[in-house]
Every structure is written in structure tokens, then in C-alpha cells.
A and B are shown apart, each in its own frame.
Chain A
Amino acid sequence: MVRDAFAHMFRREKIIPALVEGESFHRYSRSDMKQAMQESLDAGNPHFSHFGPDANLFGDLEELFESYGENGTGKTRHYLHNEADAARYNSPDMKPGEFTEWQDLPSGTDMLFYEGLHGCAISDGVNLARHVDLKIGLVPVINLEWIQKIHRDIGERGYSEDDVVDTILRRMHDYVHYLIPQFANTDINFQMVPVVDTSDPTFARNVPTLDECVVVIRFCDPEGMEIDFPLLLDKIKNSKMSRRNSIVVPGGKLGQAIELIMTPIFRRLMDGRG
């Protein structure tokens, strides 16, 4: 729904985005990652994960952000999730879990749109956040995040519950040190919050539906962003303010809220280019 909402806006506002996926900047292919994880385990590091700097090319991502900001160019690649991706990116000789070659971004794009885990990361000599003009956090409460992961990994990938819980615990260190701090830096956070019981995330039979959630939307600087709260409250049914900079909307209204909030902000970003 989030991806759709942004796609709708790009189309309506005639914005041509250069899309960059976070996974393109993983350091390792699927098989190399397995090996790297085993090696780090053997070396006594039980916390190696896709959440942390060791498994990602933060430096290359920063370079991309910097060069795009300066002259609208830069290099990216695609991670091939499956056979369909391999076909889509004309890489029939490559296997799922591998990357395409690095390629120049298409020319003539209006903005770079990054979607991934590390768009605002600050760590070890890297500062991605400073290059980003609009930082959006999209994050469920931790209980919901676990439920979603457990369901996906058990239901679609055939892992056992114990395996998934081990993975969650293994990644927790990086989650706390590299993912969470980003949300202190974002301009807008959208946080999905279930209103059904999630006190044992390993047991929840169903992933809470959108109707069983509310979304907390927090603006770092509502005045600076010219956020029109009365308009949002009026247009989004059953929404309410929970703090001076925060509005709560029913889960099913997430897409509508994103479009209402982001359209004027995108317009200003585009106007600012002159």
C-alpha cells in the first residue's frame, strides 16, 4: 500500500523517480552471506546480520546519495530475489540471490527515491542522513514486526519457529544500534500499531490486518513542513491528534494519509528545483 501510494503520486505529479532498493547495497549475495555469517560465528560474533554495517555497503550508498545530490547521477544495481527478477533485469545467466552489474542511474530523473533499511543511517564515518532532503520512517511496533517476520519465514520460507526466534535475537543487537536510531532523525514517521493483543508475538495466529491497527504519524517539524492538521483531521475519518506533532489514523487509511500528506511536500520539493 505504501509503495502504491508513492507510485500514484509520482504518476499524478509527473515526477520521474530514480528508484533505489536498499537490498542493492547488501555487501554479500545470498550464498556469500551464508558463508560470511558462518565465518563471523566461528570468529565469535553471534550478531552478524543484514541490519549492521558489516553486511552492507554504507559507503557506496553514501557516495550514491552525494553524487545524485550534486549532479543527478550515480550507480546502483539490482538484487535478484527470484527467477522473475532475473528475467526482468535481463540477467538470465544469473541466479536468484545474486546482484546485477553496477549501472548508471537513468538520466533525466527528478528525484532519487530510496526504499530500504538504512536510508538515514549514521555510523562509523558514514552519514547518510545528511544527504537526504526528505526522511520518512516506516516502522511497526516491535511486537508487530516480530509477528510479520515469524509469519513470513514460517509460512512462506518453511523455517521453524525456533529458527525464526533465533534469527530475531541474533539481529537484535544491530536492530538496536543501526535501525532504531534512524527514527530519531526522520522528518516524518509512520508507525503501525496493532489494537489486538500481540503480547506473545510467537503465538499470534494471524498477522493483524490493517483494520486491526492504527497508524501513528509524527512530524519532526510540523510548522516547517506546513502540515495542515485541521485538513487532515477533516479528510481522514476517525483520525485524531495524540500530541501537538502527531496524528493517529485508522490502519486502513494509511495510503490516503500518505497521499494527502506527501503530495504538497513533493510539490514543494519539485518547485524548489526551479
Chain B
Amino acid sequence: MSTKHPIIAVTGSSGAGTSTVKDAFEHVFLRESINPAVIEGDSFHRYNRAEMKDAMAEAEGLGNMNFSHFGSDANLFSELEGLFKTYGETGGGKRRLYLHSEEEAEPYEGLIPGQFTPWQDIPSGTDLMFYEGLHGCVVSEEINMAQYVDLKIGVVPVINLEWIQKIHRDTSQRGYSEEAVMDTILRRMHDYVHYIIPQFKSTDINFQRVPIVDTSDPIIARDIPTPDESLVVIRFRDPDDFGVDFPYLLSMLHDSWMSRRNSIVVPGGKMGLAMELILTPIIRNMLNNKK
């Protein structure tokens, strides 16, 4: 935790609404003239794309059928923890980029998609750190990321929706068979349960997307539920901590309602608006405390 160099971590799987979150934060940063140090979770993968394939084959050879990007073996947890610690203390630290596509790799001579850029110092003079990835709040026997993060946000769909999204993306955009995707989902399940899920109990705010169309067989669901076909459950660990003004939110977010003393439900299409309404005062407060 650092008043001077605060860290915001958005934890959740890609496609879980993280792009809505990213947009909402970008809007807030722009409006409030905040200069963030952005960290992408996949830059802390341990292996590049080619190495990951080898590492997975090797793990399988050794009888480990659960090797995945969700777990500790495939990620640089202690480096990420170190970055959080250093940034909180000094506002500095080292980061790199994972190059997803040709387009991203273009400016880097000699690098191809699936590789990392060299480690570089974070530019000086940033106002806060913004992490977005799978592991912003990992707490295990060796690692404690959560202790360095000032605002912990979970973005996570119900499991049925997470599977639907993955099956759609991997079959339609990446050409995998349904069976291959399902095998991947099962292979990752052990790490999902042991590394991803436990983070959502220490987060300050969770945004959980919940479809209100039938998802009982995620494998045959023909369409990804649209925002209009879902609700978002927003839970605050401690609403008093953040001075959350529920009556205000209820009046600003049409058709929203409280489902528990610390939880509000909003229509899926209102997720971005809800985030901006909730996050703006919290981030403003963070920056005021810096001064």
C-alpha cells in the first residue's frame, strides 16, 4: 500500500468484461488528467509462445496434466510482486511488453508475435500504476501481491459464461475444435481453482457478469450472451471504506437494485457507466491523498 505511488489492479480473465473496464479507467484517467504506468498481465508470463508450448509438452511428459497460464509455474509471480513493491516505494520499476500480433511486433526489429520486448524502466513521473491481468491479487505461501495493491478490482463472469466466451473465441477466431477447447478448460481447472478464484475474496470491488439466458450447456450455447442479456453484480468488500453512496448509484443506474447490504445489481449494458460512477470518486480520493 502506498499513498505516494498507489497501485490499482484489475484482476480477471480476458473477455470477462476487462475491455469495458479498461475503457472505463481510460475515461477516468483522461478526464482527471492522470498519467498511469500501465502493466499488462501477460508481460509477466514466464515463457514466450514457443517456449510455452515446449514447457507444456515437457510438463505433460512428466505426468503433470495441469500446466497452464493460470498457475505459478508459467508466470513470474515474484518479479510482479517485486515490481509492485518497488513502484509503491519509489514510483519506478521494470516492465516489458508481450507482443500479441504482427501489428504489435512491427515497431520492434527482430521480434515476432509471441515474444517479449526487453525489460525497460517505467517512465518517471507517473501518477499511479494500473495493472490488468490474471494475477493482480495472488496470495500464496510464497507470494503476496495483494498487500501492495491499493485498489483491488475483480472482473469475472460466472463460470458458465467464462466457458462460453472461451469456446467461442477459440473455435471461431483460432480454429480449434470444441473438444480441444474443452480439454484446455479442464487442464486449466486445477490452477483456476487454486490461483485465480481465491483472489476474488480479497478484492475491494468485484464486478461479476451474470447471463439471464440459459447457459446450462456452455458448449452448445450458440451466441455469447449480450450485455442486454446479462446483469452485473457489483460487490463491495467494505462499502464504508470507499464511502459508497448506494442511493446515488440506484438513482443514476436505471433498473438497478440492491441484492445484499454490500451488493448492487445493474443491467449488463450499464456496466461501463456503473464503473465510471463508482471509480471516479475513489480515484480522485487516491490522488488527493498523494498531495
| Residues of A bordering B, CB below 8 Å | 137, 139, 141-143, 165, 168-169, 172-173, 176, 180-184, 189, 191, 193-203, 212, 214, 216, 218, 242-243, 246, 248
Contacts and interface: CB of A to CB of B under 8 A. Distances in A.
Contact of B198 (A141, A184, A200): A200
B217 interface: yes
A169 B193 contact: yes
Interface string B213-228: 1111111100000000
Contact of A199 (B154, B193, B217): B154
A75 to B, nearest CB: 31
A160 to B, nearest CB: 15
Contacts of A201: 197
A170 B12 CA distance: 24
Contact of B217 (A173, A184, A195): A184
B231 A195 contact: yes
Contact of B220 (A165, A184, A216, A243): A184
Given A141-B159, A181-B217, A197 B206 contact: yes
B259 interface: yes
Contact of A216 (B156, B213, B218): B213
Contacts of B197: 199-202
B11 to A, nearest CB: 10
Nearest to A185: B217
Instruction: Give the interface residue-count category, chain B.
Output: 35 or more
Interface stretch (B22-30, B40-48, B74-82, B182-190): B182-190
Contacts of A189: 214, 216
Contacts of A216: 211-215
A248 B185 CA distance: 28
Interface secondary structure of A, over-half rule: mixed
Contacts of A141: 158-160, 210, 215
A142 B201 contact: no
Nearest to A182: B217
Interface of B: 154, 156, 158-160, 182, 185-186, 189-190, 193, 197-201, 206, 208, 210-220, 229, 231, 233, 235, 259-260, 263, 265
B230 to A, nearest CB: 9
28 contacts: A137-B216, A142-B159, A143-B158, A165-B193, A173-B186, A176-B186, A176-B219, A180-B218, A181-B219, A189-B216, A191-B215, A191-B216, A193-B158, A194-B210, A196-B235, A196-B259, A196-B260, A197-B200, A198-B158, A198-B208, A199-B200, A199-B208, A200-B198, A214-B212, A216-B211, A216-B213, A216-B214, A218-B213
Contacts of B218: 180
Given A199-B156, A242-B213, 9 more contacts: A141-B210, A141-B215, A182-B217, A193-B158, A193-B210, A197-B263, A199-B208, A202-B198, A242-B229
Contacts of B190: 169
A200 B201 contact: yes
A195 B180 CA distance: 32
A173 B219 CA distance: 14
A214 B158 CA distance: 14
A172 B229 CA distance: 27
Nearest to A199: B200
Contacts of A202: 193, 197-198
A141 B214 CA distance: 9
B212 A193 contact: yes
A244 to B, nearest CB: 10
Contacts of B210: 141, 193-195
Give the top 8 A-B pairs by smallest Cβ distance, nearest first.
Answer: A218-B214, A197-B235, A183-B216, A199-B200, A142-B159, A203-B201, A183-B217, A200-B200
A257 to B, nearest CB: 14
A1 B263 CA distance: 26
B135 to A, nearest CB: 15
B215 to A, nearest CB: 7
A165 B214 CA distance: 25
